[in-house]
Amino acid sequence: MNFDFDQMNKDISNAATQKGEGDNVFLKLEPGLHPVRIIPEGNPKMNLPYLRVRQHTVQVPDETGTLKTRFIMCWNYIAENIQTLGRELSDKQKLTADDFKNKYNVHGCPFCSAVKFLDRRGVDKKTVAKLLAREATTFNVLVRKDNTIKVWNVSNKIFTDLMNYFNMYKSQNLNMFDPNSGFDTTISATGTGMQRRYSVAVMGVPKPMGIPDGTPIHNLMDIAINTSFYSYQDTIDLLKQGNGLLLQANGYSIPGDTVTEFLNAANGGVNNVGITSTAPVSIAAQVSNDIFAAPSVVPVVNGTTSEIGAQPMGAEIANMLAQPVKPTMPAGAIPSADGGWFDPAVGALFDANGVKRF
């Protein structure tokens, strides 16, 4: 499976611009060699030096009728990361209790459920594969050429290569992500357009990271949320927009869909009406349904108090959100005297509360 990462970068960058993230957040590379330093920050919630998010992809027409790629965060991915990403989405009043409890918990991820259905129906694998979620990985990097900090979208191959380098150096007790004694990564870009290819090389030459003062490190989770999180109904609408004909031809009615006329529209199931709304608008409209809209219960979550909406939450999400998040020492970590640990997997020290010290 070969993705057009240039196009993806362009699209995700466009999407970010539309949602106010700024056009120049993402790393764009001309052919040639590009030394960068990976900044292992930007995903503090997950304690990882990168963010790896699972997204579905659809091609949908924009206002001018031009097909554009849209990325949609997989709802199963959100559920698997409920304590980190889910918590953040709740805090931002984007993930509603209604969406999670009454829709996701009952019907699953709209895209993944459609995949299961089409697969069982014997639809050919290549067609079904277009609906599958794929991993998208982002890093913060310091671009040596101009000292800017960019978000680097990497393919699975580049991600694997980088992790192989990390592990190789780790086996020599070297941490390539260390701010003082870590190593730069050289990205090689060749070819143009669809033929553009990237590769990476990490030379074990220690060099201080040297982030210029006041240069902001991008919050990778925020960017992923802004560019690919949609409410449950918007996710369904994008599924219909991108795959309406295929789903209709196979007699699939999307469970949990509250706007069923879209699929049976006079245009033969191809939804050109446009999705019901963009994510931020629908979120505003759903404020009354928000988990934290009206205070009633005040559980302690992760050391802070949060107000839970009057709307009864599903036991599952309530449990997941209410459990104090006391991270346990991950496998392979080395305990320290104060009850914390050193995690060689991320090359960082954590205190007894799981807070990264450096």
Interaction site with Zn ion (CB under 5 A): 74, 76, 109, 111-112, 133
Question: Rounded to whole angstroms, how far apart are CA atoms 185 and 197?
Answer: 16
| Residue pointed to by tokens 């590769």 | 199
Nearer to Zn ion, 50 or 111 (CB): 111
Nearer to Zn ion, 27 or 89 (CB): 89
* CB-based contacts of 205, cutoff 8 Å, min separation 6: 183, 184
Nearer to Zn ion, 111 or 139 (CB): 111
Nearest-5° Cα angle at 49, 48 to 50: 90
Burial 154-180 (b: 16+ CB within 10 A, else e): bbeebbebbeebbeebbeeebbbbbbe
> Smallest distance from the beta carbon of 114 to Zn ion, in angstroms?
9
Nearer to Zn ion, 74 or 187 (CB): 74
CA dihedral 319, 321, 323, 329 (to 10 degrees): 130
> Smallest distance from the beta carbon of 11 to Zn ion, in angstroms?
19
Cβ(301)–Cβ(325) under 8 Å? yes
Question: Rounded to whole angstroms, how far apart are CA atoms 109 and 89?
Answer: 16
Question: Rounded to whole angstroms, how far apart are CA atoms 134 and 3?
Answer: 10
Counting every residue, how long is the chain?
358
Nearer to Zn ion, 76 or 83 (CB): 76
Smallest Cα–Cα separation from 211: which of 54, 76, 14, 37? 37
- Any bridge partners for residue 154, and if so which? 137
> Smallest distance from the beta carbon of 112 to Zn ion, in angstroms?
4
Nearer to Zn ion, 76 or 289 (CB): 76
> Smallest distance from the beta carbon of 357 to Zn ion, in angstroms?
36
| Sequence-ordered alpha helix ranges (H) in 229-344 | 232-249, 279-285, 315-322
Nearer to Zn ion, 76 or 156 (CB): 76
Cα distances (Å, whole numbers) of residue 115 to 24, 169, 270, 282? 35, 40, 18, 26
> Smallest distance from the beta carbon of 25 to Zn ion, in angstroms?
25
> Smallest distance from the beta carbon of 189 to Zn ion, in angstroms?
31
* CB-based contacts of 84, cutoff 8 Å, min separation 6: 45, 46, 221
Smallest Cα–Cα separation from 179: which of 348, 355, 335? 348
Nearer to Zn ion, 107 or 170 (CB): 107
Instruction: Report which secondary-structure segment, H or E, holds 151.
Output: strand 148-154
- Any bridge partners for residue 201, and if so which? 186
> Smallest distance from the beta carbon of 239 to Zn ion, in angstroms?
10
Nearer to Zn ion, 84 or 186 (CB): 84
> Smallest distance from the beta carbon of 266 to Zn ion, in angstroms?
29
> Smallest distance from the beta carbon of 72 to Zn ion, in angstroms?
8
